Chains A and B, each alone.
Chain A
């Protein structure tokens, strides 16, 4: 049923590109109770050849800490222009970050991967805690993190 739906979504998207250019996607990141300060999180996307494409959200406002989001930092050189207008507060331990955004349809089922780097002051950096392919079929699937992130999922 799900695959039928996906096929339908895909074919609809293909046949009616003018009507389906963007979709509302909700990204939910649940943090573990790691017992530390608020976590900095960088949510960013790479393409099929693992090249950085862009950032979807940056949780944490001080750029001086961005070098601890090592994957993101390596890809961007710490360029804050990448996160202008998509930056918010860091996320406390045990909290849940829910981001709703309009994403380009072309992002799904095209080899793109969403990554999350995490960092907490005075605790170990955790680049690429979550790495999940963006597919229509992957919606609603819980992906487990390693250190600060309990799980992540996207829905649309």
Chain B
């Protein structure tokens, strides 16, 4: 019964994923958390292969592949096992930037540094990683 409920909840939530995307943290007290096995059960029910399981921003986070073999990252509410966020890792247009990959800043050297009063000249910074 619980399983059916969980499945139903997920089915209901998946299309609404985009609307929930900006609220991808969980804030349920630990005392109300279900065991990680519950999350792994959700994964199994959905046909996901789990590569990595951890707690992130208070949510259960599963990384792995979906039934079609696409790389996924899914956040679950640790109490209700509802999907809080689902991302395809091969998709840059994920929910976090609301469907636009546009918005990444221009790399150094392609445009002048911003005129924020900090830079003495328009010379681009030189960077070395050792």
A: residues with CB less than 8 A from B are: 21-23, 45, 53-58, 61-65, 67, 80-89, 91-92, 95-107, 122
**B contact residues, range:** 20 to 34
Query: Which residues of A are found within 8 Å of B121, using beta-carbon distances?
Result: 22, 102
CA distance A2 to B75 in the complex (A): 54
The residue on A at minimum CB distance from B125 is A101
Query: Which residues of A are found within 8 Å of B123, using beta-carbon distances?
Result: 101-102
The residue on B at minimum CB distance from A38 is B129
**Which stretch (B2-10, B32-40, B77-85, B100-108) binds chain A?**
B100-108
Interface set, chain B 52-110, CB cutoff 8 A to A: 54, 56, 61, 94, 96-97, 103-110
CA distance A100 to B127 in the complex (A): 6
Additional pairs, 17, CB under 8 Å, beyond known A56-B118, A95-B129: A53-B116, A56-B125, A61-B105, A61-B107, A64-B96, A83-B105, A83-B114, A84-B114, A86-B124, A87-B105, A88-B107, A88-B108, A96-B130, A99-B127, A101-B125, A101-B126, A106-B117
A22–B106 CB distance below 8 A: no
Query: Which residues of A are found within 8 Å of B124, using beta-carbon distances?
Result: 85-86
A99–B114 CB distance below 8 A: no
B118–A103 CB distance below 8 A: yes
A87–B108 CB distance below 8 A: yes
A84–B130 CB distance below 8 A: no
Q: Which of A21, A91, A107 contacts B118 (CB 8 A)?
A: A107
Q: Identify which of A54, A97, A102, A107 gathers the most chain B CB atoms within 10 Å of its CB.
A: A102
A122–B56 CB distance below 8 A: yes
B114–A81 CB distance below 8 A: yes
Q: A53-B118, A85-B124, A102-B119 in contact; A91/B107 too (CB < 8 A)?
A: no
B127–A97 CB distance below 8 A: yes
Query: Which residues of B are found within 8 Å of A63, using beta-carbon distances?
Result: 97, 103-105
Q: A63-B105, A80-B105, A101-B119 in contact; A122/B97 too (CB < 8 A)?
A: no
Tell me if B128 counts as interface (CB < 8 A to partner A).
yes
Q: How far is the CB of A61 from chain B (nearest CB, A)?
A: 6
